[in-house]
A and B are shown apart, each in its own frame.
Chain A
Amino acid sequence: AQSVTQLDSQVPVFEEAPVELRCNYSSSVSVYLFWYVQYPNQGLQLLLKYLSGSTLVKGINGFEAEFNKSQTSFHLRKPSVHISDTAEYFCAVSGSWTGANNLFFGTGTRLTVIP
């Protein structure tokens, strides 16, 4: 079975500062990893995903994440945040085998960008 731990429930950061949102996963098999963003009163949107290949994955809105297999981590980073990045961010994992479509979500990290 897979599980996801998001280490920080809330992260406040000043505008134009860098940010890292942490995500660790546990799985005994190969996985796919995802970051989703949820803006207030909206559904979830995919930010980026790791399926295979390069461990550094670039997503929308200037975000990137690095897959680290030895540390079972998939931390999300952005070098300079904007007010519009204020949202909740969810890390998710699924198995990479055929038919394993179920996503397991972390509990979320609320990013607040301070002007």
Chain B
Amino acid sequence: NAGVTQTPKFQVLKTGQSMTLQCAQDMNHNSMYWYRQDPGMGLRLIYYSASEGTTDKGEVPNGYNVSRLNKREFSLRLESAAPSQTSVYFCAVVKRVNEQFFGPGTRLTVL
């Protein structure tokens, strides 16, 4: 029972490159979230998915796209990476009564 897994753990991109961050859960919960964490700014919500087939924008969606392929998986795509997207990205699953269960994170550097 792995809970929430994220791949890759680390990634370095050049400006303009694209990549997809993967998140998978084995908790069988409907809601999944993508956050970014930057020093001094806490966690900010990028996109979320309340259930399979639905996605909604969060606080900072610009420059990102998401796909909720099935109940288990929720991916975050950067089509053309920018240095401002250097951050640590966390995926989370809503367990119950708003309690969110976080993955280990992906540390992304855009040069």
B90 and A43 contact, CB distance less than 8 A: yes
CA gap between A51 and B98 in the complex, in Å: 10
B100 and A103 contact, CB distance less than 8 A: yes
A107 and B104 contact, CB distance less than 8 A: no
Q: Does B41 make an interface contact (CB < 8 A)?
A: yes
B98 and A101 contact, CB distance less than 8 A: yes
Contact of B94 among A42, A49, A101, A106 (CB under 8 A): A101
Give chain A's interface residue range (CB within 8 Å of chain B).
Answer: 20 to 34
Contacts of A90 in B (CB 8 A): 42-43
Chain B: interface secondary structure? strand
Residue of A nearest to B31 (CB): A101
Chain A: interface secondary structure? loop
Q: Does A74 make an interface contact (CB < 8 A)?
A: no
CB neighbors of B among A74-103 (8 A): 90, 94, 99-103
Give chain B's interface residue range (CB within 8 Å of chain A).
Answer: 20 to 34
CA gap between A43 and B45 in the complex, in Å: 15
CB neighbors of A among B93-111 (8 A): 94, 97-105
CA gap between A90 and B43 in the complex, in Å: 9
CA gap between A51 and B99 in the complex, in Å: 10
User: Closest CB-CB distance, B91 to chain A, in whole Å?
Assistant: 9
B41 and A44 contact, CB distance less than 8 A: no
User: Closest CB-CB distance, A90 to chain B, in whole Å?
Assistant: 6
User: Closest CB-CB distance, B48 to chain A, in whole Å?
Assistant: 7
What is B's interface to A at a CB cutoff of 8 Å? 4, 31, 33, 40-45, 48, 50, 58, 90, 92, 94, 97-105
The list of the 10 closest CB pairs from A to B, nearest first, reads: A43-B102, A105-B42, A107-B42, A44-B102, A94-B98, A105-B43, A43-B104, A101-B94, A32-B98, A101-B98
- What are 21 A-B pairs at a CB distance below 8 A? A42-B104, A43-B90, A43-B102, A43-B103, A43-B105, A44-B92, A44-B102, A45-B102, A49-B97, A51-B97, A90-B42, A99-B50, A100-B98, A101-B31, A101-B48, A101-B50, A101-B98, A103-B98, A103-B100, A106-B42, A108-B42
